[in-house]
Amino acid sequence: MRRARVLVVDDEASIRMFAETVLSDAGFEVITAPDGPEALRLVDQEAPFNLFVLDVMMPQMQGAELGRQLRQREPDARILYMTGCVDALFEARNDTLWARETFVEKPVSAAGLREAVSLLLAGVGADGD
């Protein structure tokens, strides 16, 4: 069985490295990007991905907009938003998340990140499956 592929997008290198380490150690194939434009380039070149882990507040392209564009490219993928500002996520998404989307608040523990990713990939708490 093929390992789930995860793209982690965060403008903070320390958070990208944390997520990459935690998820790689949990058995996922992890690729990282520092911003939205690079994430879109990677998806265009290296699709498919099973899950996107997106920072909400990034320069150049906010996480909600990146999520919208990623959904167009990978409609079946799941999206986990990581945010220190939940209000910003819901402002950008008009107070709602789409099916197969959820969020975790920063800072998130290694166990919390693993659990959120595993549950989202299993379809738990991700309406639409």
| pTM strictly above 0.75 | yes
Superfamily for the 5-122 domain? Response regulator (3.40.50.2300)
Q: How far apart are CA 9 and CA 25, in angstroms?
A: 18
pLDDT digits (tens, 9 = 90+) for 87-101: 655 565 555 566 888
**Residue 129 pLDDT level (bands cut at 50, 70, 90):** very low
14: which residues sit within 8 A by CB, 6+ positions away? none
Residue 90: predicted pLDDT: 57
Which among 90, 33, 35, 91 is positioned nearest to 61, based on CA atoms?
35
